[in-house]
Structure 1
Amino acid sequence: MSASAYPVRTLVDLEPWPAGAPSLAVIGQPVTHSLSPAMHNAALAALAARDPRFAAWRYHKFEIAPAELPRALRRFHERGFLGINVTVPHKEALLGLVESADPFALAAGAANTLVRTPGGWRAFNTDGSGLAAALRADFGGPLAGTPVILLGAGGAARGAAVRCLRDGVAALAIGNRGADRLRTLLADLAPLAGGIPLRGFALDAPPADLPRGALVINATTVGLKGSAGAPVDLTQLPAPARVYDMIYNPAETPLLHQAAALGLPRANGLSMLVHQGAHALTLWTGLEAPVEIMDRAARAAFAA
């Protein structure tokens, strides 16, 4: 089923929502083209075929503006939602609005998954685990021992950076256009780095001494459908080895197009969407997520 087959709901739709309906959702702005409902509802159908407890579970998408977020989280909880995925622009704002947070989310300073508790929400960050699993699937290797050049300093980048440091990358260089946000992220990451070289740089002027043979990860929205250009010129980086773009729409961003022209192994973010979603589903259900079914459903929805 395509992304457009699922209606985009709003905060108004929560008012008459039947209390206690076993519901899940993705929230953000925008969410129109989110593949998460198709992916998660396919997974829920597979779980229901084995366990009737999940027969009535459904996953929805809600357009929630930043100013609406506090009220929306209260209302989702009041109406009995069991879990929520959170996308841009809310990932960094969540931690100040929840009852508790997983240590990884606290370390990242950003969350993308909420699990219902009796008194509110517990926040998790599955971006890091999703990225690591996606890189293994697409490139066949772990993050450990790999030099990484990470593009961006927002919510998605925070989860990726913490995972890179915890997995023991050889070095981590983070590029961003805004100096203040980059400085804040580097300060937050410094206690986690240990002996791993950690540095920042301006995306419009990459230094010549960045690590050679690095895995380049784009965690910015530059290149997203409707957005022109690439976050960095790959020819300005010293001999990158592989390129991973967290964006999956379009399937080939300008950054990945340049990587192809340079003959570099490359992959888009559809695999990360699937694996971070699978981790979230496990948090909600307590069961192993059917990753292959989720992957097929996401790819079919994207193709449609």
Structure 2
Amino acid sequence: MKKGAPIPFALLGHPVGHSLSPAMHNAAFKALGIHARYSLLDVLPGDIPRTLEDLQQKNFGGVNITIPHKEEAFRFLKAHHEVSPHARALQSVNTVVFRPDGKLYGDNTDAPGFLDALREAFRATPRGKRILLLGCGGAGRALALTCARQGATAMFVSDINMKARCRLRRDLKKVAPQMEVGGVALSRAEQVAPHCDVIIQATPVGMKPGDPPLLPATAFRKGQMVFDLIYRPALTPTLAAAQEAGARTQNGLGMLLHQGVRAFQLWTGRKPPVAVMRAALEKALKARRN
């Protein structure tokens, strides 16, 4: 018989009500017989340090961090606790482990989760690829820097925010001096897209009904790999345009799964039940559609 309250885990973000993460992690805890519960906590910007310290006192096992708190969490953990070399390189944290010694440990499973999903969907890696990134925010930035380290031959970054675009270009040149790096206004991205092997859509465009595709079908080509980080809806306008051109497509559900798998392993030290977690995500997503 289980005794005591379940070990608490949570996702911290603002907003977080749309997340499918509880379904995935609670199914994994149940499958492995771990007495734990994963919930959602809406945390306002600026409140991450206080919230993490408060959860530490409440004996949390770990948390995920999502928009808009990943960089704030990194700064706090770097200054007062510990972060992984990977999180330090990205200056972003999406997973926190609450250690028995009272220390917090921050890591980032977003980019490794993306690489796992890329291999699963396309049997491909970034090595030798020409990549166009649409959206230079936290997630896009992490993926671009990781793809650069993984041997991409060219990276073109596009964003409406010129400052974010220029910052990422500068950092990419530091990480991979030999790689071709270019900044592209979103209005000109369709001119670059046909010359790329992989296109990563990392903006929120496509989540709302009526959103247009970021690129027209004429910007894509047959055999191209197009990855949209959005998973609701499963087929975004950008993915629909890519499919019309014969490109291979993948939405963000695979990345959500695999970053969650890696976070679960960090928290528990156990081999994650990947099939159980995938089925729980798909069931939760189907329920949201109905």
TM-score by length of 2: 0.90
User: Quick one: which of 239, 264, 273 aligns to 1:290?
Assistant: 273
Asked if residue 38 in structure 1 is aligned to residue 31 in structure 2, the reply is no
CA offset at residue 204 of structure 1? 1.7
* Structure 2 portions without partners, runs of 5+: none
Q: SS of 1:93's equivalent?
A: helix
Matched residue, 2:93: 111
Kindly provide the CA deviation profile for residues 45-84 of structure 1, in whole angstroms up to 9, marking residues without a partner as x. Answer: 1111xxxxx2x21111111111322221121111111111
Equivalent-residue separation in structure 2 for 1:181 and 1:188 (angstroms):
11
Matched residue, 1:151: 134
Matched residue, 1:25: 10
User: Quick one: which of 229, 244, 248 aligns to 1:261?
Assistant: 244
Q: SS of 1:66's equivalent?
A: coil
Q: For residues 124-273 of structure 1, what are the structure 2 equivalents within 5 Å?
A: 124-206=107-189, 208=191, 212-225=195-208, 228-233=211-216, 235-236=218-219, 241-273=224-256
Contact 1:83 1:284 in 2 (8 A): yes
CA offset at residue 190 of structure 1? 2.1
Q: SS of 2:260's equivalent?
A: helix
Q: 1:97 to 1:275 in 2, by over 3 A?
A: same
Equivalent-residue separation in structure 2 for 1:125 and 1:93 (angstroms):
13
Matched residue, 2:47: 68
Q: 1:210 to 1:236 in 2, by over 3 A?
A: closer
CA offset at residue 285 of structure 1? 0.9
Q: 1:69 to 1:44 in 2, by over 3 A?
A: same
Contact 1:114 1:124 in 2 (8 A): yes
Matched residue, 1:90: 69
Q: 1:80 to 1:225 in 2, by over 3 A?
A: farther
Contact 2:12 2:66 in 1 (8 A): yes
Q: 1:296 to 1:114 in 2, by over 3 A?
A: same
CA offset at residue 21 of structure 1? 5.0
Asked if residue 57 in structure 1 is aligned to residue 36 in structure 2, the reply is yes
Contact 1:22 1:81 in 2 (8 A): yes
Equivalent-residue separation in structure 2 for 1:65 and 1:232 (angstroms):
33
Q: 1:156 to 1:31 in 2, by over 3 A?
A: same
RMSD: 2.1
Equivalent-residue separation in structure 2 for 1:192 and 1:129 (angstroms):
17
Equivalent-residue separation in structure 1 for 2:146 and 2:13 (angstroms):
23
Q: SS of 1:67's equivalent?
A: coil
Q: Which amino acid aligns with 1:259?
A: A
Contact 2:222 2:248 in 1 (8 A): no
Contact 2:115 2:125 in 1 (8 A): yes
Contact 2:223 2:248 in 1 (8 A): no
Contact 2:220 2:245 in 1 (8 A): no
Q: Which amino acid aligns with 1:191?
A: K
TM-score by length of 1: 0.86
* Structure 1 portions without partners, runs of 5+: 1-18, 49-53
Q: SS of 1:183's equivalent?
A: helix
Q: 1:102 to 1:217 in 2, by over 3 A?
A: same
* Residues matched between the structures, number: 280
Identity fraction in percent? 37
Matched residue, 1:12: none
Contact 2:173 2:179 in 1 (8 A): no
User: Quick one: which of 276, 301, 304 aligns to 2:259?
Assistant: 276
Q: Which amino acid aligns with 1:33?
A: H
Equivalent-residue separation in structure 1 for 2:31 and 2:251 (angstroms):
26
